[in-house]
Amino acid sequence: MKMLVNMRDVLKAADENLYGQGAFNANSVAQIKALVEIHEELRSPAIIQGANLANGFMGGCIDFAKCTLEDKKKGAKNIGDAVRKYAENSKVPVVLHLDHGNDFDACKAAIDGGYTSVMIDGSSLPYEKNVELTREVVKYAHERGVSVEGELGVLAGVEDDVFSEKSSYTNPLQALDFFKKTEVDALAISYGTMHGPNKGKNAVIRKEIAIAIKEIMRHEGIDGFLVSHGSSTVPQYIVKEINELGGDITNAYGIDVNQLVEVTKSGINKINVDTDIRLATTRNVRELFKNRPELKNVQYCDEIFNLLETNPKVSDPRAYLHPIMDTIMYGNVPNEGVAEIVREVELAVKETVGTLIVKFGSVGKMPLVKTHTLCEMAEYYNSRK
């Protein structure tokens, strides 16, 4: 069986060859399946992300903002099982990465569930506390060959349990100190992006921050990678279509994809995208009910339709797809109506992710990634001590 890989292998190829490596969030088995398939079709390396609260949701907690550690443990295993199922015969290297782990236990739950890379987000903590927490996660992860991403600086916006009204840009000199003290593999920086669908109509990335950090890293011999969070492009045609189908999505703007392409040449290696997938899924499901009104009377589909109708502002599929949690968590499809919805979920992933794989330049880059087993990576980390 083909094993999932450490994120360092995938980001090293992107860094050396100056293309962008997309990292895409999943909240269901259908999305995981589609993510693996679209990367295979385009021969692109894949980073599939489960967010901290995605683990809770995939553990069966519908009110995922209140999920417990036990929910996260269960969900991490469900996501890990699904990724391994669809990646085991894949030609492309696949990373399973935890997005925005908020404490050591969340990261441990992900690693124990089969994640090969984790993010520990201590960016809201005082600097030394962030360093301390990140070092604790790095020690546990590296002993198991698992890569770690940290965060320095604060992004404005809302994404699951990550919230801030204001941004604080990453200090390049502090980023160097952070890499040295924590030995993280990758660092998410704050340089003008924002979480969520409301980034502002003319959001501008300060690429000089990424350039400065990368140049200092090279000068000091730091072998690490930079990550762009809050980088969804929020396609306006999809927002328009949602609203024409009865939705009410307002003030939704993303990062200009051309800016994202440009920063891949300026030191950014990994680009996180979630909102685009959520929006396309919502558009597809609304469109399905418009074109197939008889589905409103099919078991489970009726509940999904009613949730969408009564919540026109909703864009997160978890808010209306929870009537089919067995399908979400395990991929079990109870009837043809639900099968239609699953197909739309998969198509939404392929449309948005496929577009960005092409834009970011990772099409056909599969052969550039030199992979190692987690045992080999554990030996590598141990040799650096």
Ligand-binding annotation for 39, yes or no, is no
373 is in an annotated binding site: no
Distance CA 107, CA 136 (A): 10
Q: Is 273 annotated as a binding residue?
A: yes
Q: How far apart are CA 263 and CA 257, in angstroms?
A: 10
Going by C-alpha positions, the residue among 149, 145, 167 that lies closest to residue 157 is 167
Cβ contacts of 183 within 8 Å, gap of 6 or more: 135, 138, 142, 384
Looking at the DSSP bridge assignments, the partners of residue 225 are: 186
Contact 23, 270 (CB under 8 A): yes
Q: Is 316 a catalytic residue?
A: no
Question: 270-279 burial string, b = 16+ CB within 10 Å, else e?
Answer: bbbbbbbbbb
Query: Is 358 one of the annotated binding-site residues?
Result: no
Identify whether the C-beta of residue 114 lies closer than 8 Å to the C-beta of residue 25: no
Task: Count other C-beta atoms under 10 Å from residue 367's C-beta.
Answer: 11
**Residue 173: exposed, middle, or buried by beta-carbon count in 10 A (0-12, 13-18, 19+)?**
exposed
Is 230 known to sit in a ligand binding site?
A: yes
Nearest to 188 by CA among 93, 110, 267, 278: 267
Query: Which position among 9, 15, 71, 99 bears the catalytic label?
Result: 99
Q: Is 100 annotated as a binding residue?
A: yes
Does 229 show up as a binding residue in the annotation? yes
What are the DSSP calls for 227-253, one per residue? EE-S-----HHHHHHHHHTT----S-B
Beta bridge partners of 253: 198
d(CA 118, CA 105): 12
For residue 282, how far is the Cα from the chain centroid? 18
Q: Is 196 flagged in the annotation as binding?
A: yes
Q: How many residues does the chain have?
A: 385
Q: Is 195 annotated as belonging to a binding site?
A: yes
231 is in an annotated binding site: yes
232 labeled binding residue: yes
d(CA 222, CA 196): 31
Residue 354, annotated as binding a ligand: no
Q: Does 151 carry a binding-site annotation?
A: yes
Q: What angle do CA 301, 57, 196 make, to 5 degrees?
A: 90
Q: At what angle do helices 69-87 and 29-41 cross, to 10 degrees?
A: 30
Annotated binding-site positions for dihydroxyacetone phosphate? 196, 230-232, 272-275
Annotated binding-site positions? 100, 121, 151, 195-196, 229-232, 272-275
Residues carrying an active site annotation: 99
Annotated binding-site positions for Zn(2+)? 100, 121, 151, 195, 229
